[in-house]
Structure 1
Amino acid sequence: MLQSVTAFVTLHQNNNNLKAPGHILFLIGTFGVLFGVGMLIEHTQPAGLTDEALEPDILLSNSRTYFEEDAHGRSVMHLYNAIEAIKKIEQDLEPESKEKVDRAVVQLEQILQDMSGEIFDIKKLNEASVKALNALTYAELKISEHFVESHELGKAKLALKYGMLHVKHALVFAEGAKKEYEISIYTEMDSLIESDELSDKEIIQKLERMIEDLDNLGLQLD
């Protein structure tokens, strides 16, 4: 079934340059945040520390918007591309993060198949997108922890900034208690970035608590 979806996506690749104004604004807003803090990262860095980290966010948002506009072919194409972008990021992840992201990818692939049917509930895409973005946030927290342990605080905070953007974009998809949780972890990450008084040990302790909370509250894939 997935092969047929892949073939369907391939037929729609030529339409990839057509974007609605809403998608353009999303793109500008996302990358504007990064340029605003002066973060220009070379491609020799892990994907989690480059703009590649945000490709899934943009593609998932586009997929939902196109579906709501009844452009289902484009919606499927962007979801397919989001999955491929996540798989590319996975290549640089440590095993624990990769396992979390793998589970999110499996769910997105199921959504991709379901979207090809005649009836599809957009809430399924929203829920799977939140979980995928939370899994990517988990990975960024682990990357941040690694760089704190290596005494590279600049890279650690950069990973946190990308993690915050994943959370910010997850808020677009989240509802109810999920939205409350996204706001809570976003605030914690922002506070950690802004603090210049914590020792490496204290930062690691806070990161470990956020990682545990995210694992317990933000990554349920049932």
Structure 2
Amino acid sequence: MPKKKPQPPSVKPNLLHGGRASDRCPRCRNARNKKDGQKFLHSFPEVTDSENLRQALVTVDRNLRQDKELMKDPAAVFMMGVLEAKIGNREYFFVASSGRTPQPWIQDKHLAGISYQKGKWKVVNPGVPDRRDGWWTVQRKQVTLGADIAGVTRPCSAVKLLLGLGDEKPTWNQVEYLRMSEMVYVGPKAEDTKHMRAWHGEGATNSWTAHSCDACEARIPYLICDVPDNRFTD
């Protein structure tokens, strides 16, 4: 019997950030996959990753490890993320890193060599609210996060990407897509990294890519909700 040829790994998006489309939205209380006629009530019910974004992170990671200044801190540990979105007729390509302010870990020089959407990437590092209120959605609507969220003030890359998108005040005519990928940066002499490595993804195409942490999984649904107030469910 002839041997079967090995199948290449899937390159389709296979990580979700902030839960699934079938989940109930904590902001508007509607199912995120609820339809309003032929369209979803939420413009994008879930946030997926993509192979292109994962490869962009590989390039950023390589640049970080070649940065002599960064290597002076060999114990550095942080999450990095990339986001692409198209809203109306405008495209957005953002990069963010968790923690450290006002100077983020990732800087413009670390974007060199990204072949996907070359030259379009922007580092964002918005301030993350230090309380449950004062947050804003990607539509720049004010929102208060749930009292049951642990780590609500954690300055993660995923929430920085979404808050950065809200800072752009996009015209909300049509969301064609919003995708995001994350990756853990672990310095060569980092200690006690178990809490960061726990977010590594699973699967043939993303064993090195990370899914959002528990605090982000709880916060992201609030930030991506664009349902108008008059459509909230009690």
Q: Same fold (TM over 0.5)?
A: no
Higher strand share: 2
Structure index of larger Rg: 2
Q: TM-score, normalised by structure 2?
A: 0.28
* Structure with larger RCO (C-alpha < 8 A, sep 6+): 2
Higher helix share: 1
